[in-house]
Amino acid sequence: MPKYRQDDEQVSDGVNLLISILVRYPEIGTINFDPTNESLKLTFMLSGIPSQSEFHSTKQLILNSVGAYHELEGLNVQITDLQMSTYEQVAMLNIIRDVATLSKSEIALIIALLRDKFKDRLVADHNDSMLEEDLLVQEELIDNMLANIKKHHAAHGLIGIREDGRVLVFNK
């Protein structure tokens, strides 16, 4: 098992990125960083299971919207996928994106689309004590950490989850 030092910048940037994304966007249930593919998997929870046609229309909406966003930004996307898995009366939407072209604005776009499409069914862990200034700080941190990971190519797999109003990050 590899040893991690407290001052390991790559691990620190990855941990800070996952924490900032989870704190800023309460709709994201878990987030996984895969260093092999240099991708993030964002998992959203829905109460109730959407029909196959509803899932496919949502998938197309998100893929088309993200594609249009990237076209406007002049980015060449490497990995974009959206999958759904279910457990009892909960659906998990997994959005997989390459870190190289992912941005804070794209995450906000995806969340806005999911909010619009699923309204009250999108599970969110809202923290009413977060001030607007705190949210802006988190957004700035997300931009900085994404830039650092793009430059330094983190080598460690990480997973961030929500549990009882807290954000936890673990090495895979």
151 domain-assigned:
yes
5 domain-assigned:
no
Could you tell me the CATH number of the domain that includes residue 32? 3.30.70
Query: pLDDT band at 4, cuts 50/70/90?
Result: very low
Q: Is the pLDDT of residue 39 over 60?
A: yes
The SS3 of residue 65 is helix
34 domain-assigned:
yes
142 domain-assigned:
yes
pTM here? 0.86
Q: Is 94 exposed, middle or buried (0-12, 13-18, 19+ CB in 10 A)?
A: middle
106 domain-assigned:
yes
- Specify the number of domains making up the chain: 1
- Please compute the mean of the pLDDT values over residues 143-153 and round it to a whole number: 80
Domain hosting 86: range is 25-156
Measuring CA to CA, how many Å separate 58 from each of 9, 110, 116? 37, 10, 10
- pLDDT for the residue 60: 95
Instruction: Tell me the β-bridge partners of 92.
Output: 45, 85
